Amino acid sequence: MIVAVVGPTATGKSDLALDLAEALSRPPAPAEIVNADAFQLYRGMDVGTAKVPPAERRGIVHHQLDVLDPTEDASVAHYQTAARADLDAVAARGARAVVVGGSGLYVRALLDHMEFPGTDPEVRTRLEERAETEGPRALHAELARLDPGAAESIGPANTRRLVRALEVVEITGRPFTANLPRQEYVRPAVQIGLDCDRPVLDARVAGRVERMWSAGLVEEVRSLASPAQGGTGRGLGTTAARAVGYAELLRWFAGDLTEAEAREAVVTNTRRLARKQMGWFGRDPRVHWLDAGSPTLVEDALALVRAADADELPVPEDRPVRRSLGS
């Protein structure tokens, strides 16, 4: 049974994952942690991603940390292959895997049935040319004929997604919706979500940003950014440069913001990220929510794991779906 700790940023997921890994370790195969945070994949992006320093990992093996150069673009499909290989290896050692992260798509790609159809440059180019000459509404009408469900979810003005949907239909011979993730685990798992009242979480976010600034976030971003980005390093790729805490400082280095404005933007955007994460995980009825500030948090989480091991957890239909922070 895989244990996954999910939820918004700044709720203490990493600490709980470490506590659970320690409690669930059984000699001779201690539990191991698998990261599911898209930006913790990057080497050197430590302070801004709240990556647990090696000295504080309590001797627990961590996977999918520091596996990409910041100049590389992250790929969910590549992560799925690599992280599932880690899960296979952990299981082969007779150990427990504890997944932790707030990147919803990465968690779903790791735990759920989710396929990533390939691409065909010729097909894509042809569809993009049609979008230019015929207009995106013509593509939307074709998608409505081939896959009504996909057309309903993709607006007629979203050219990029329309092209991708029609590309997948042509390549696979199946509806685009057939490739969307299903809420169905590829192997037994239990998801433990950490929730927090909005005012408390807002305060946690502000405190985290304060600690990051003191811990050297500015120096970290400057050391990674290229001279053209206002730094001294080789630069941040498209994916890495979008990370909260990095994007705002890059704007400061470029002269678009003052330091105070960049700092406030990091706080604001981190709070916005937390709400987005809550919306994503809150729509999954399989997540079992716990109060991040509970004094019995670890005991409550272990009780959920024991119930999952014994197949005694309530089915999703018996539990309400969490839709917002503090709900």
Summarised one tens digit per residue, pLDDT across range 82-115 is: 999 999 999 999 999 999 999 999 999 999 998 8
Domain finish residue from 164, 179, 194 = 179
133 within domain boundaries: yes
Confidence at residue 327, expressed as pLDDT on a 0 to 100 scale? 45
Q: Are residues 217 and 168 in the same domain?
A: no
* Residue 324 domain flag: no
Within-domain flag for 323: no
Which of residues 179, 204, 226 is at a domain's end?
A: 179
Examine the pLDDT at 324 and tell me if it is beyond 60: no
pLDDT surpasses 60 at 287: yes
Distance between CA atoms of residues 320 and 129, nearest Å: 46
Long-range contacts of 206-215 (CB under 8 A, 24+ apart): 206/267, 208/9, 208/10, 208/50, 208/270, 209/245, 209/263, 209/266, 209/267, 209/270, 212/47, 212/48, 212/50, 212/245, 212/266, 213/263, 215/47
**8 annotated as a binding-site residue:** yes
Q: Looking at the predicted structure, is the pLDDT value of residue 242 above 60?
A: yes
45 vs 163: CA distance, rounded Å: 33
By percentage, how much of the chain surpasses pLDDT 90? 90
Is it the case that residue 191 has pLDDT exceeding 60?
A: yes
Q: Is 11 annotated as a binding residue?
A: yes
Same domain, 110 and 228: yes
Q: Which is it for strands 97-100 and 2-6: parallel, antiparallel or unpaired?
A: parallel
Residue span of the structural domain in which 155 resides = 121-179
- In the sheet that holds 2-6, the strands lie side by side as 62-63, 32-35, 97-100, 2-6, 189-195, 287-291
Is 14 a known ligand-binding residue? yes
Q: How confident is the model at residue 117 (pLDDT cuts 50, 70, 90)?
A: confident
Whether the pLDDT of residue 316 is over 80: the answer is no
- Average of pLDDT values for 5-20? 98
For residue 189, tell me if it sits in a domain: yes
Domain match, 128 and 229 both: no
The encoded tokens of residue 180 equal 């969307």
Could you tell me if 143 and 291 lie in one domain? no
- Residue 214 counted as an annotated binding residue: no
Do 105 and 205 fall within a single domain? yes
Has residue 321 got a pLDDT over 60? no
Number of other CB atoms surrounding residue 119 within 10 Å: 11
CA distance 203 to 267: 10
Is 309 contained in some domain? yes
| Residue 327 falls inside a structural domain | no
- 150 and 247 part of one domain: no
Same domain, 43 and 55: yes
Q: Are strands 97-100 and 62-63 parallel, antiparallel or unpaired?
A: unpaired
Q: Which stretch of DSSP H or E encloses residue 21?
A: helix 13-24
CB 74 within 8 A of CB 38: yes
What CATH number does residue 245 fall under?
3.40.50.300
Compute the distance between CA of residue 202 and CA of residue 299 in angstroms, rounded to an integer: 25
- Is residue 49 over pLDDT 90? yes
Tell me if 325 is assigned to some domain: no
Amino acid at 91: A
| pLDDT in the model for residue 32 | 98
Does residue 37 sit in the same domain as residue 153?
Answer: no
- 171: domain CATH number? 1.10.20.140
Task: Based on the fold, state whether residues 193 and 293 are members of the same structural domain.
Answer: yes
Q: How many domains does the chain contain in total?
A: 2
* pLDDT for the residue numbered 81: 97
pLDDT tens figures, 303-315: 999 999 999 998 7
Per-residue DSSP letter, 32? E
**Interaxial angle between packed helices 198-215 and 259-282, expressed in degrees from 0 to 180 and rounded to the nearest 10:** 130
**In this structure, what token pair is assigned to residue 136?**
């995106």
Please check if 53 is assigned to a binding site: no
CA 108 to chain centroid, in Å, comes to: 9
Query: Which of these three, 131, 151, 179, is where a domain ends?
Result: 179
- Whether 127 and 255 share a structural domain: no
Do 201 and 127 lie in a common domain? no
Q: What are phi and psi of 288, to 5 degrees?
A: -100, 115
What integer pLDDT is reported at residue 226 of this predicted model? Answer: 96
Clarify whether residues 156 and 279 are in a common domain: no
Assess whether pLDDT exceeds 70 at residue 79.
Answer: yes
Give domain status of residue 280, yes or no.
Answer: yes
What pLDDT, on the 0 to 100 scale, is given for residue 180?
72
Q: Is there a binding annotation on residue 7?
A: yes
Measured CA distances, 88 to 2, 81, 93, 187, 311 (Å): 11, 11, 9, 10, 22
